[in-house]
Structure formats: structure tokens, C-alpha cells
Amino acid sequence: MGQRGHDREQRDQSGPVPGAEALWEALGEGTRAAREGEGHG
């Protein structure tokens, strides 16, 4: 029974949008690439 509550907690931590985490990760990669490009240029 405790497992069910744990799963629910993990879901809430994931965020309201399922793809939000992946989106932020991609965004971070983009800004990182832009910063690297600026440094090289």
C-alpha cells in the first residue's frame, strides 16, 4: 500500500507536464552550444 503513495509522490515531483523535463534539458543544451559558439567565435 505504501508503494502506491510513493509512486504518486514521484509523479508530482515529475511536474505537471510530462515532457517538461526533456524540454528543459534540450533548452539547456541549446544555450550551452550557443555559449560555446560565442567563446570560439
Per DSSP, 17 falls in state S
State the total domains in the chain. Answer: 1
* 1-41 confidence digits (pLDDT tens): 556 555 555 555 555 667 777 888 888 888 888 878 876 55
Q: Tell me the C-alpha distance between 15 and 30, whole Å.
A: 22
**For the whole model, what pTM was predicted?**
0.33
Amino acid identity, position 29: E
Q: Which domain holds residue 22?
A: 2-40
